Structures are given as C-alpha cells and as structure tokens.
Structure 1
Amino acid sequence: MEFTPGMLMDNESAGIAAELIPDGLVAADADARILFLNSRAGRILGRPREELVGADIREAVDLQDSDGSSWWETTNPWGGLRIRTGHREKMLMLRHNGREVLVTAKYLRPGRNEPVNRVNILMRDALYRRRQEAENAAVISTVAHELRSPLTSVKGFSSTLLRRWDRFTDEQKRLMLETIEADADRVTRLITELLDVSRIDSGRLQIRPLPLDVSSVFHRHVERAVASGLERDRFAIEVAEDLPEVWADPDRLDQILSNLLENAVRHGDGVVTLSAVPADADARAAMVAKGRGEEGVEIVVSDEGPGIPEDHRALVFSRFWHGSGRGSTGLGLYVVRGLVEAHGGRVVVGTAPSGGAQFRLSLPSTAPEYLA
C-alpha cells in the first residue's frame, strides 16, 4: 500500500485530540507502517513527522530492552497470541539517540481473534522518573547515615565498657551509658518517623484521643528540653485563660510538639514561644468540614530566627524537604501535618511577630463522634 500525507490522520478531530495528549503517540497499521504521530512523539524521536509517516514503526521507533534486544522482536504485536490487547508501561530505550522512555502499547483488532490492524504506542520521557529515583536514593543514603551515626556510637561505647569496665570510674561509666541511651532514643525516633510516614501514605494511621490540658503538656515539654541541656530562658509559654481542653492522642501530641520544638531550636534562634488560644474562624471551619465540631484550640510554636521564605512555605510539609539546610531526614514536618490532620485539625506556617518561623496547628476540643 502506498502512503500519502493525507493518511496522517483519519480526520481533523483525531489529530487535534492527539495533540492534546501530553505523551508521544504513534499509530501504525497492519503492515507496521506509521499512520500518524503527534508533535510530542516527533520531539521525543528527534525527527520531523514528515519523515516518519509511512515509515516502518519498528525502525523509526527503534525501542530496545535493558538487555539490548529489540523490543519489537520480543513483543511482536502483529504475531503471537490473538488474545493480546497490548503491554503495560515499561522502561525502554530508543536505540538511535539513547533516550530512555516509558512505553505503553495498545493493540487493536477488527474482530475477536483477528490479526492486529492497528498498534498504538504512548511514549513518555523517563527523565523525571530517573530524577525521582535519584532523590529516593539520596533519601535512603541520608536515612542510612542517620542510623549509622548513633549505632556506631552505641557500638563503640558498649564495646569499650565491656572490655575495660574496671578501668573507668562510676562517673565515666554513667556518661557512656547516658550517651548510649540518647543514641538509642535517636534511632528509635527515626524508625518511628519512617513507620509513621508509611502509615500516613497508606491511610493506616490510627489515633486514640483523650481530653488533655494544653498548659500541662507545654510545661512538660519545656522541662524535657531543659533536662536535655537547653537553657530555661530559651522558652516561653503563653496560654489563654479559660482555654478548653483538646481531644488528642497524648503520644501523638507529644510527637507533634517534639518535632516542632526541635525544628525551632535547630533552625530558629532566640526564644521559642509555645502559645495556645481558642481556634479562629478559619480553623473552626476546617474542623467542621472534617466532622470534628466547631470548638477547638490553636497551638502556636514560634521562634526568633530568620524564618521561612514565603516561596518555600508550600513545601515545608512535603516528604524529605530540607530547605536551605541539611542535618535531618526531612520527615519531621511531614509527620506533623499527617498527625494533625488525623486529629481533624490543620497546620499552617507563617511569620512570627519577631520575624521568625511560626507554626499554627488547630486541634478539636470535642470528642470524635465514635466516642461521643
């Protein structure tokens, strides 16, 4: 059969629809000759459409597997079983330019068990997938480093104590054991965060809310921070009078505040203020939308540091976001948002009166319906 430019598409609307597809689309007939392709496919292949129409798709779109074999010879769309309808997405390479593409194929037949008379393939540039894989690899490397550092310390101190126990004073032994305990807590916390990320992503995060006094929770966290070596005047607590209790999971609320306080101490400066006021109209509306009633408390954690640039605020609660600095896995704030939303509340970031970062989270003051 002789091909003409008029066979580029069946009609004008089909051509317009093909151009609206974000992926590269190439269609071939029963003889493997290209009938038409959209402009995105031409850019991926690096050749003008005029040269490709009528060409053998197996030569023009020379796809190969990771082992170097021809994908067309392996799949043979026009032969083999007549019940095949296509192929799911697969990472392949264009032999002529070395470009990696994600390819999906669809086989069309005029009737049941009849030979294939049309093969459509969709191609998507794999560059973004590779970038995502590289980012995930970097995250794994970061997590591995975060785990290795405290485990190395635990191994070193415990081995030293076992071999030379009699050579150390009681004070030296106590210091080593305290270091081992602190590093073990660090590993436990990291593993907990990783598990929480998995539960948040899969929708399996569970909370067990109880009525809690916010002021007592604040003071407990400040005392814990002071016991860890921070100065007491580094913290300030401001709680509104007659503030209602919050309904929250005690362990999860501790986790939320620990992450926010650690973030403020590590990345902020000056005094870290913990305050609590009745929820404003926006926070109440958000809780009502989630079926948690109109009453709530807004908890605010702010510092006097440089703050978070406005163009970064939409990213701070995403997984593995570090901003301009490193030194953490970037999981803490992602977990904070997941935990707050699991309670039926919301968390936002803004600027404190001092110019530092300010995290505002709302929590309900009424029991969930299943406990009412």
Structure 2
Amino acid sequence: MVSEGRIEGDGRIERVDAIDPEELPDGLVVADADGRVVCFNAAAARISGIPAAEALGRPLAEALPLQDLEGRRWWPLTDPYGGLAIRTRQPERNLLLPGGREVLVSARYLRADGRTGPVRRVVVALRGTEARRRTERGHAELIATVAHELRSPLTSVKGFTATLLQKWERFTDDQRKLMLETVDADANRVTRLIAELLDISRIDAGRLEVRRQQVDLPGALRRHVDGKIAAGVAPERFVIVVDDPLPPLWADADKVDQVLGNLLENAVRHGEGTVTIEVRPDTACLDDGRLREGTAVTVSDQGPGIPEDSIPRVFTRFWRGSKRGGTGLGLYIVKGIVEAHGGSIAVDHAPGGGARFRFILPASIPDFMS
C-alpha cells in the first residue's frame, strides 16, 4: 500500500490513508534495499508489456530492462544503489524497453536518513507516451492549419500593397479603393485567426477570463441576424422565437457575441433552408437538490445535418462540417466559452433534418449583488 499523509506543525507526517497501487493510473515499480522488485502494479504491466508475475522478486535491472535512446543500459548508467550518495531522484525521461517500446520513466531514491544514507527503496514511475504523442500531433496540426490559413491573406496583402506601391499612378481611384478594401478584409481575417489562437491557448490552460455584465441575449441575437441580412442573406431565412420572461443573464457580452456569431455563421454557411433560433428559460436541478435558472439557446437549420458518426467530434479541434473553408477551431472555442460560464452545449439532429445546436448559460449573479 502507498501511504498518503499530511504534515503536522512539528514536521512529522501523520498517516491519513493508504492507496492501493492497483488503483494508480501510472505504472508503479518499487524495489527494496537489495534491488529486488517488491511492487509491480497493473498499470506498470500494461505500459511495459511485462507481466507482474515475471517482474516480482527479480533484480530491478532484469525485471525492467531499460535503455536510453542511445542504446545504453539505464540501470548501470544511473546506479541507484551505488552511485552518487546525495542523489534522491531521476527526472522523467524517454527510455526504451526490449522491442523498442518507448516509455516515460522517473525515479525516486528513498534513503535511510532521507538524504545521504543507504537506499532503502527505489520507486519508479512509468507513463506511456501515447498522450504526449497525441499532444504533439495536435500541436503539429495546429501549426500546419495556422500556416495554411495565414498564407492566403498574407499573400494577398503583400501582392496588393506591392502593386499599389509600384504602380499607384496607373490605377483609378475606384481600383485603388477595391484593392485597399481587399487588403483590409484580409487583415481582418488574420486578426480573427490570431484571436482564435489566443482563445485556444487560454481554454487549454484553463485561463479563459469571463467578465460578467448583464446581457440582453435576445437583443444580441437580433443584432447578429440584422448583420447577416445586411450582408445579403435573405431575411426570410431567419425565424427568432423568444419565450419571455427570461431570467437575468450575467455573462461576458463579447464572448456571448462570439458564440452566437459562430453558430449563426455555421447555420447559414453549412445549412440550408430556414435557420430557427429559440431563446427560452431553462431550469436545472443541481446535485444538492437546488434549482438553477438559466437561458437555453437553440440554433437549428434545414440542411443535410451532421453524420451520426461525426457528432462526437463536432466540438474537437479541426472538425469541419464541410469543405467550405474555415479553420475547424470555431466550435472548439464555442464549447470552451460556454463551459467557462458554467454552461453546457450539445448538438443533435433538428426536426427538419439539419443540425441543432443548443447551449445553456446559467443566470449567474455577480458577487457584489449576492
């Protein structure tokens, strides 16, 4: 058993509870003062591919034959029992098991007097590399996506500005205005992409700030619809249904605008037919039995909808509902914003056959009013 404790005022550690090594998510290997394995949990067996029965009782170097990436045997290299007397740990590093299996390994040396005495235990932690590789692939895909999305507008900006600088007098005022408007639109596109990247970094780090104020959600929704109509979308494509009275909504107005804008853009660009937006009060029962009021917003269209096998991936990075452009980051950001407000979002099939997105924001009251 692995003891868990708390530090008392006089520096002693009082035992509070014990953890079964089999319940740990990471691999745990423990060798005694003689260097023989006395603990080899299930996670260690899964990660290393070595059955626990084969490892227990054997010398550590034989039970867990690790090599560094240059092919050197790791245990003779680090020599936990006979090496530097003041060493108490080995930082995590990539090592290899027989057959080329890569694992992340760290170690702690428990000494008799805590610092320089003989080693009583060597505690080894093992982690698989799959999660890290997924993260690395995600970063690589993000970089590739950003590079691709930046290339087109920056090429346009560079081309038009170079042309205007070199041949300004050859163009009419209308031609110059058209080129400058194109440069302005492409610059806005780059700005939006940078804002998306900043949002993603804050969402991933759990640092997305929410500056709450009272938000007129139906009013914000109508502004977005009016903007779409002004941009040339037919007014009859939109139906807005608001069930009054709605509870007061305290939220970040800019981020709510971001959510509404993204969902409406998706419905107009990727959907077909009528886009229906419903705003209704919502009441949820919390675990402690209290009721929490909120506002539910549903955006649905009559397009082809989302394939059943794609629904679980809709809010992941780089998911695209079609090949009609976009970074595939918008819905990932929308989910992060909604959850930062303490809300939830889901997607399913609309009655008309299209996609239906529904998010709920709790009617949070700021601290100064509670």
Change in CA separation of 1:233 and 1:67 when aligned onto 2, cut-off 3 Å: farther
The amino acid that maps onto 1:266 is R
Q: Tell me, yes or no, if the aligned pair for 2:199 and 2:208 is still in contact at 8 Å.
A: no
Q: Tell me, yes or no, if the aligned pair for 2:300 and 2:350 is still in contact at 8 Å.
A: yes
1:212 aligned residue: 216
CA RMSD of aligned residues (A): 3.5
Q: How many residues align?
A: 348
Structure 2 alignment gaps of length 5 or more: 1-18
Change in CA separation of 1:62 and 1:266 when aligned onto 2, cut-off 3 Å: farther
2:351 partner SS:
coil
Q: Tell me, yes or no, if the aligned pair for 1:209 and 1:367 is still in contact at 8 Å.
A: no
Structure 2 residue corresponding to 1:93, chosen from 74, 93, 96: 96
Q: Tell me, yes or no, if the aligned pair for 1:107 and 1:116 is still in contact at 8 Å.
A: yes
2:153 aligned residue: 150
2:82 partner SS:
coil
Structure 1 residue corresponding to 2:195, chosen from 175, 192, 195: 192
Higher RCO (CA < 8 A, seq sep 6+): 1
**Per-residue deviation, 1:369:** 3.6
Give runs of aligned pairs for residues 1-372 of structure 1, distance below 5 A: 21-34=24-37, 37-38=40-41, 41=44, 56-59=59-62, 61-94=64-97, 96-112=98-114, 113-200=116-203, 201-212=205-216, 214=218, 216-240=219-243, 246-277=249-280, 279-282=281-284, 285=285, 294=293, 296-309=294-307, 312-318=310-316, 320-322=317-319, 325=322, 327-363=325-361, 367-371=365-369
**Per-residue deviation, 1:365:** 5.8
**Per-residue deviation, 1:371:** 4.6
Worse-matched range after superposition: 204-213 or 133-142: 204-213
State the distance in 1 between where 2:307 and 2:40 align.
Answer: 44
1:13 aligned residue: none
Change in CA separation of 1:290 and 1:176 when aligned onto 2, cut-off 3 Å: farther
2:346 partner SS:
strand
Q: 1:242-270 CA deviation, whole Å, 9 max, x = no partner?
A: 65664443322221111111222333222
**Per-residue deviation, 1:25:** 4.2
Identity of aligned residues (%): 51
Q: 1:9-63 CA deviation, whole Å, 9 max, x = no partner?
A: xxxxxxx955555544444344544456456655655566676566543355332
State the distance in 2 between where 1:178 and 1:51 align.
Answer: 71
1:11 aligned residue: none
Change in CA separation of 1:117 and 1:325 when aligned onto 2, cut-off 3 Å: farther
**Per-residue deviation, 1:91:** 1.9
Q: Tell me, yes or no, if the aligned pair for 2:306 and 2:321 is still in contact at 8 Å.
A: no
Q: Tell me, yes or no, if the aligned pair for 1:297 and 1:364 is still in contact at 8 Å.
A: yes
**Per-residue deviation, 1:345:** 3.9
- TM-score, structure 1 normalization: 0.78
State the distance in 2 between where 1:50 and 1:340 align.
Answer: 48
Q: Tell me, yes or no, if the aligned pair for 1:207 and 1:342 is still in contact at 8 Å.
A: no
